[in-house]
Each structure stands twice: as structure tokens, then as C-alpha cells.
Structure 1
């Protein structure tokens, strides 16, 4: 069974506009918390436009930033 992460959930949301509870259950806790926070911000400020949902988690952005420095 392959792992299901934040990026997979975002792709699924962008393609179908929904995510199942089974997929939520597959997410690691840290990714789940971050995804739910991003969804709240996305719904509030981006009016639910699928292209506005961040494709990359903040955790991964921070790792990339640290690697560059």
C-alpha cells in the first residue's frame, strides 16, 4: 500500500473537488492537521477556487528553503 500524503490529497481535491473520509484516515496526523488548516483558509479567502489551494505543504516549503541556505 502506497503512502497518502498532503500533496496527494491536494491533487485529489483539485481534480474532483472532494476527498473521502477513508483518504482522510490514510493521512499522517501532521499532514491532516495542515490540510484542514489550508482548507479553512482556502474556503475563506479563495472562495473555494481549486487552483488557489496550496499544492505544497508549508513543512515541505520550509525544508526546501533550508536546503537553499
Structure 2
């Protein structure tokens, strides 16, 4: 069984509009914190439209940017 991650939680929210407590419990603290922040923004600015929920973690974008900066 693979580890439940941020992307899995977002996919589940987009498909069903809900996420279980057991799934939330299995997320890492960083992923959980990021997911809650994204849900707040999503509910406030996107009116809860499922297609507006970001599909990828912003942490990954930050890591990619850091790698690019190191190469330059």
C-alpha cells in the first residue's frame, strides 16, 4: 500500500468533495498543513469549485525553484 500524500487528498476532494478523518490522519504534518491552507484559499476565493483546487503541492514548486537556482 502506498503512502497517502497531498496529491491523493486533493484528488479525493476533487472527485467526491469530501475527505475522511482516517485519510487526514495518514497525511504528514507538512502535507496536512498545506492542504488546510489550500482549502481555506479555495473556499474563500474559488467559491468551493472543485476544478479550482490546486492539483500539485506548492512545496514541490519551491523545491524545483531551489534546484534551478543552484544550477544557475
Paired with 1:54 and 1:62, the residues of 2 have a C-alpha distance of: 15
Unmatched runs of 5 consecutive residues or more in structure 2: none
| Partner in structure 1 of residue 60 of structure 2 | 60
| Partner in structure 1 of residue 23 of structure 2 | 23
What is the TM-score when the length of structure 1 is the normalising length?
0.92
User: Which of the pair has more CA radius of gyration?
Assistant: 2
Unmatched runs of 5 consecutive residues or more in structure 1: none
Compute the displacement of 1:2 (Å): 1.5
What is the TM-score when the length of structure 2 is the normalising length?
0.88
RMSD: 1.0
The superposition leaves residues 7-53 of structure 1 with CA deviations (integer Å, 9 ceiling, x where unpaired) of 00000001111100000001001100110010000000000001111
**Number of residue-to-residue matches in the alignment:** 69
